[in-house]
Structure 1
Amino acid sequence: MNQLHTLYTVIDLGGTFAFAISGAIAAKVKGLDIFGILVVSFTVACGGGILRDISIGAIPPTGISDWRYLFVSLIAAAVAVGISPILKLLNRPVILFDALGLSLFAVTGAQKTLSYGHNYEVAVLLGILTAVGGGVIRDIFLNRIPVIFENEIYASAALLGALVVVTGNYLGISNQWTFPVGFLLCFTLRILALKYHWKLPTFNKSK
């Protein structure tokens, strides 16, 4: 049990770091000052988790009560601001780190919901909320249309990751297997969708 709790915490902090970097880079590109970058970094990293915790009754939310989440988001913001030459070597770093955060939070969000005794449907929905909530907050802060409101394969990728965790729980499969499988499927789908321009179907407005 302790090993599973440690695994969950490590994955959750990894998602926090990935989303914090994506938020910090996006805020920097928009020309925000250092305080604005830090605020966007933290809210992007912890926003989805805070919404999830409020929904499942985990009060106060971990993103606020556990100092490690604030610390990780601050470190990520410092990395994004201070080590720009390294980040520039990556192809579109915001998208890369956003995909990492999306995948990590999809699996941890679903698992935490299950651990609080909620059913599988709630676990899937809050897994998605955990994964996409931070990105929505980032886009609103930076005056952009949130990705989930466009025809991107984004929330649907998070759905896949959350479903793997929930299905594994139903079948009695250990998180040590479902976490990496859920993460890899979500991340791979998101990256392939970006690379090959896969889109969800849209419907033209009637004239």
Structure 2
Amino acid sequence: METLVLTLDLIGTFAFALSGATLGVRRRLDIFGVLVLSFAAAVAGGMTRDVLIGATPVAAISDWRYPATTLVAGIVTFFWAPLIERIDYPVRLFDAMGLALFAVAGTQKALDYGIAPPMAAALGMLTGIGGGIARDVLMARVPLVLQAELYAIAALAGAAVVALGYWLNLPALPCALAGAGLCFGLRVMAMHYGWHLPIALQGNNDEPPTPDGPAR
């Protein structure tokens, strides 16, 4: 089980690192900036999860394989960005891969630390969305999780499959693969078809309310 979690975590780390580095190259950051963004996108979610479940020191700084993985992804993206850009929507595609893998790995690690299945699924979702939030905040843009098509919902769905499989005493590997496949499939389909949660209707006046009442 430990090997399964580590494998999913490292693959997810590489995918999220690629998404962060690709965005950094697009924003014309230097190589240091690209590597910082790659690292932040890859480890923020996992670090948050580890702190919450008491897995300290967190894996991202206690295990050399995590920073090494982000370093490799960042360097590959920096020097071979034109090849990566040939993929349709590379940032969102790598982001979807990292989201799926982190959601199931985060859930499984939370379960291994004795967290109840419902909360383990919530922590899996948090693991998945944390890196994307850190990446987008550093780039001064609204995080995808707050505006994209079925982002956190897709992560929660994948995490729920792992948590339900654990509750039913089903084999961990098939549940993890099914959860990752569901999350990735939902995210890609939502991107393709524009599926999203309802958005509030705007009023006739977009001015913010004043301290004494609504805008006039």
Bin of the TM-score, shorter chain as denominator length: over 0.9
The residue type equivalent to 1:36 in the other structure is: G
1:44–1:138: 8 Å Cα contact kept in structure 2? yes
The answer to whether the 8 A contact 2:117-2:166 is kept is no
Cα distance, 1:5 vs structure 2: 1.8
In structure 2, distance between residues paired with 1:120 and 1:105: 16
Give, in angstroms, the shift of residue 182 of structure 1.
0.3
Please say if 1:14 is aligned against 2:23.
Answer: no
Measured in 2, the distance between the counterparts of 1:205 and 1:159 equals: 28
- Does the 8 Å contact 1:151/1:201 carry over to 2? no
Once the two structures are superposed, the pairs formed by residues 174-189 of structure 1 within 5 Å of their partners are: 174-189=171-186
Give the secondary structure class of the aligned counterpart of 1:187.
Answer: helix
Confirm or deny: 8 A CA contact 1:151 1:202 kept in the other structure: no
State the AA in 1 paired with 2:7.
V
| Alpha-carbon distance in 2 for matches of 1:29, 1:89 | 13
- Counterpart-to-counterpart distance in 1, 2:8 and 2:159: 14
Residue of structure 1 in register with 2:100 after alignment: 103
Contact 1:47/1:134 (CA < 8 Å) preserved in 2?
A: yes
Q: CA RMSD in A?
A: 1.1
With the length of structure 2 as denominator, give the TM-score of the two structures: 0.92
Please say if residues 118 and 160 of structure 2, whose CA atoms lie closer than 8 Å, have aligned partners that are also in contact. no
Range 195-204 or range 40-49, more displaced: 195-204
Structure with more of its chain in helix, by fraction: 1
Within a 5 Å distance, the mapping from 1:18-29 to structure 2 comes to 18-29=15-26
Residue in structure 2 matching 1:204, options 178, 201, 204 = 201
Instruction: Report the AA paired with residue 133 of structure 1.
Output: G
| Structure 2 equivalent of residue 54 of structure 1 | 51
Shift of 1:124: 1.2
Residue type of the alignment partner of 2:159: A
Where do 1:41-190 residues align within 5 Å?
41-150=38-147, 152-190=149-187
**1:31 deviation in Å?**
1.2
Distance across 1 between alignment mates of 2:191 and 2:133? 18
C-alpha contact 1:40 1:141 (8 A) present in aligned 2? yes
Q: Distance in 1 between matches of 2:10 and 2:148?
A: 29
Q: Residue type matched to 2:74 in 1?
A: A
TM-score (norm 1): 0.96
The 3-state SS of whatever aligns with 1:12 is helix
Once the 2 structures are TM-superposed, how far is the Cα of residue 7 of structure 1 from its aligned partner? Answer: 1.9
Matched residue, 2:27? 30
Identity across the alignment (%):
46
| Moved segments of 4+, more than 2 Å | none
Q: Residue by residue, what CA displacement relative to the aligned partner does 1:66-113 show, whole Å, maximum 9, x if unpaired?
A: 000000000000111111232122111111100000000000001100
The structure with more radius of gyration: 2
Gap runs ≥5 in structure 2:
205-216
